[in-house]
Each structure stands twice: as structure tokens, then as C-alpha cells.
Amino acid sequence: MASRLLTSVIGRCRTASGLISSRGRGVREILQSTRHVGTTTAAASGSHGVPLARTVLGGTATVAIAFTSWVAYSQPTTCEDGQDAEKREPTLLQKCAAEALGTGIIVGPGCAVICAIKYCNAPIGLFGIAAGFGVAVTLAVYATRDVSGAHLNPAVTCALAVNNPNACPSSLVLPYVAAQFFGATVASAVNYAFYGQAIRAFESAQNIVRGTAASFASFDSAFGIVPNKTFARLPRVLGAEIALTSALVYMIFTITDGRKTVPDAAAPAVVGATVTSLIAGFAPISGVGMNPARDLAPRIVTALAGWGAAAFPAGWWIYSVGPVVGGVLGGLAYTMLN
């Protein structure tokens, strides 16, 4: 009777060995991983285990453990905290959806704060604008970093593609940038839908005729950004956008570098704080776009909403070109210094 039982167990273990091998795992690895049998899935870890046949002949207890390990492995793989031990890589569509969502989270609430001040006289002030964008960036990064890496900015995507292609292969650049612009456009359209009546009231009170050359005053900063020539001429504005985006990307590289001391869980909040400080300090000079999607997408919405060519006044391109150049330079500076 015992001989039959032993023969049956050996047969089952041989079957288990074949199944395990077909799934890319050896019997020796299963034997090495029996520490967590019954609570966690065995993880393949060694190459010095005892051959199965010898183990079986040496003791039926070890055989039973090996068989139980195979049964546990055949179930869904879980960790002690109930999470999937091996997360599947998100698809390109999922990554692009995350980029669109995250960029929309930044542009929607961030620009909405300016809309509230400009069109509804909300008593918020410059720091309120800076904090609004900073919080929006923080939430957007937390919401998307585990799916797409939370670029949420064409300047960041280009900086990573040039300076860290392992983190951002060139094949991701166009899909990511397209997704970012899509998300920003949808968010801007939603803002316009909410504030459309307030914008018309503002234009009426200021005697602004939408579509005329001077009508950019009714969308400035709430949608696209217009350089303030009172404080800085166009070359200085371009230099500011390059420098500010360079500083932002340098900080992003620093904050997300695993070798540094910033805790991973705190990284989105630190990035948001960086955005807040830059906007609070330099918004009167250049408007602090630092993100081509944040400027160009809302600008296109205003062009379609009746401003037409007035949505593209002199220097409009600064907020698309400057951040990309600055982002690449910021990433290069970090790479050279670290």
C-alpha cells in the first residue's frame, strides 16, 4: 500500500515537473521556494536544489512539499499584501490614456484658477495661481506615474528621450506628445464651456471685440499665454522659458533618481512644490508656461472659439519652443553633473 502511494506521489511530481518546466520554471527552483507554501506563491530562486527523484527517494515529506509548491504555483500569483507579484506592463494605449488624463488634470484645474481670477474676480492672487498649478501637477503625477511614468509635458518627454532613452525610447515620443496635447485640448474645451458666459461678460465690460488684434487680452494666461512686453521683450521671455523649464526638468531628474534621498512616495509632491515656486517667482516676467501642451492646446481652443488669428500674437511660439529646448538642456545638465 505504501509502495503504491509512493509511486502515485512520484508520478504526480513528475507531472508537476513537466508543467512547471513548460512555464519556464525548474523543479529545483520550486524546491528552493517552499518557504512560503500555503501563504505566498513560490518564487524561483536557486540552482542548487536536490534532484526530484533523489528527494522523493530520500523522504516523502519533501516530495509532498514539492507537490504542494506546484499546486500553489498553479494558482494566481499573489504577494503577501494581496497585490499582483508581477504587474503586467501597461499597453501603449493605456500609457497614452494616462498621459492624456494627467495632462488634462494639470491644464484643467490649473488654468481654471486663472479663469476664476480673470473673469469672476476671485480673490486668489499670484500665489493662489502657483499653488493651483502645483497641486494639480502633484495630483496628476500621483494618478499616472505607475502607468506611463507621468511625463505629462512634451518638454519632459523630449528631455528623457534625448538624455535617458532607456526610460523613454524614441518610439514613445510621438504617441506621448499626441496624448498630452489631446488631454490638454479636452481640458481647455471644458474650461471654455464652463467660463464661456463669464468670458463674454468680461469682453463686454472691457469693450473687447473677439477676433480683433487686441482681443488676445480676453484669453491671455487663462488659455494661451501672451508675453508681457511691459516687463520683458521677446528675447528675454524666450530666455526665461528656456531657463525655467531647464530648472524644472533638472529638478524632476533629481527627484526621480533612485540614487538620491527623496522618498519615492514624496516625489510627486516635491515636483509640485517646484512648479509652485517657479510660477510664484517668475510668472510676471514670462507667464511661466514650461509646458507646450499647457499653452498650445488652450490657444488652439481659443482660435476655434472665435479669436482666430488673434490667438497667435507675436511671440506665441516661445511657449512651445522654449520649454522643449530648456527641458533637453536641463536633462543634459543633470546627466553631465551626475
pLDDT tens per residue across span 293-327: 999 999 999 999 999 999 999 999 999 999 999 99
Residues in the chain: 338
**Residue 230 pLDDT:** 84
Which of 43-52, 75-84, 216-225 has the weakest average pLDDT?
Answer: 43-52
Highest mean pLDDT among 11-25, 31-45, 204-218: 204-218
Which of 23-32, 251-260, 323-332 has the weakest average pLDDT?
Answer: 23-32
Stretch 239-248: mean pLDDT: 98
* Confidence tier at 21 by pLDDT (50, 70, 90): very low
Percent of the chain with pLDDT over 70: 75
Confirm if 334 and 254 have CB atoms less than 8 A apart: yes
The DSSP symbol for 70 reads H
- Concatenated DSSP letters of 273-308: HHHHHHHHHHHHHH-----HHHHHHHHHHHIIIIIG
**Residue 4 pLDDT:** 53
| Residue 2: pLDDT over 60 | no
**Residue 83 pLDDT:** 53
Question: What residues contact 3, with CB distance under 8 A and at least 6 apart?
Answer: none
* Confidence tier at 9 by pLDDT (50, 70, 90): very low
- At 3, give phi and psi (nearest 5°): -60, -40
pLDDT tens per residue across span 55-108: 333 444 443 444 334 333 444 444 445 555 467 899 999 999 999 999 999 999
pLDDT tens per residue across span 192-205: 999 999 999 999 99
CA distances from 324 to 66, 71, 161, 249, 333 (A): 56, 53, 12, 10, 14
Kindly report the average pLDDT of the chain as a whole number. 83
- At 126, give phi and psi (nearest 5°): -60, -45
How many CB atoms sit inside 10 A of residue 279's CB?
A: 23
Maximum alpha-carbon separation in the chain: 101
What gap in Å lies between CA 294 and CA 216, rounded to an integer? 17
Place of cell 502511494: 5
**Residue 318 pLDDT:** 97
CA distances from 167 to 115, 158, 178, 264 (A): 36, 11, 18, 16
Percent of the chain with pLDDT over 90: 71
Give 84's strand partners. 78
**Residue 43 pLDDT:** 39
Stretch (H or E) spanning 244: helix 234-255
**Residue 86 pLDDT:** 61
More confident residue, 269 or 231: 269
More confident residue, 29 or 290: 290
Question: What residues contact 303, with CB distance under 8 A and at least 6 apart?
Answer: 309, 311, 312
CA distances from 191 to 48, 219, 223 (A): 63, 12, 9
What gap in Å lies between CA 133 and CA 171, rounded to an integer? 29
| Residue 19: pLDDT over 50 | no
| Residue 41: pLDDT over 80 | no
**Residue 228 pLDDT:** 86
* Confidence tier at 7 by pLDDT (50, 70, 90): low
